[in-house]
Structure 1
Amino acid sequence: MAEIVAAASDRGSTTVADRVVEKIAEQAARLTSPRVSGALIGTKLPALEVVTAGSSTRVRARVAARWAVPVADSASAVADRIRADLERYAGVAVELVEVDVAAFVQPDGQGER
């Protein structure tokens, strides 16, 4: 017997909690930038501020970048990963991802600049 499936518009919707959206964005930033903490920068990096209104999201990320990698490349990689992961896993429209590089990490991962 064939199963009858209702049209997508008749099936309802899934709502993703704002905290879940934040966690997805945080994980995306961690996967594409070094983790740093210390008194010198005053916080742990990456640090994110995520604002969601309905299905639209804005993200501001403060991250560290590896020394000798162009800042624009580092920031772009973080922004692209955040945007892709939020759209893929949370189904939200990402209106803006703003990335600030707040510290540099030496290639061997020891210390910050």
Structure 2
Amino acid sequence: MAGCKDMTLMEMAVGSMLCVFMQHQNENGKLCSDAFKEILAEQMPSFNEACAENKDEIFKKIDVNKDGTLDFPEFCSLVCSFACANHAILEEVMKCAKEKHGKP
């Protein structure tokens, strides 16, 4: 794998997702429901507000293997679903960032 200085934006994005996951994982390398809710509050506040009443249902839905925890692929599914559902909003945010800072 390329050195850190050669990482692409996509590699950094996936790495960031993994770092967030690892900061909240339990001793089995998975997220419990409380850790999932903590990530939503800390890292995805707009999504957290939008699903305030449905967090337990969302957790159960993305817990594909129904083991009561989320592994990294299940967690990634949530993040990617969020990105897909909010594509237009994310495009606007990136345009604003580019205008403000000259780059995304």
Give TM-score, length-normalised by structure 2.
Answer: 0.28
Structure with the bigger percentage of helix:
2
Higher RCO, 1 or 2 (CA under 8 Å, sep at least 6)? 1
Bigger strand share: 1
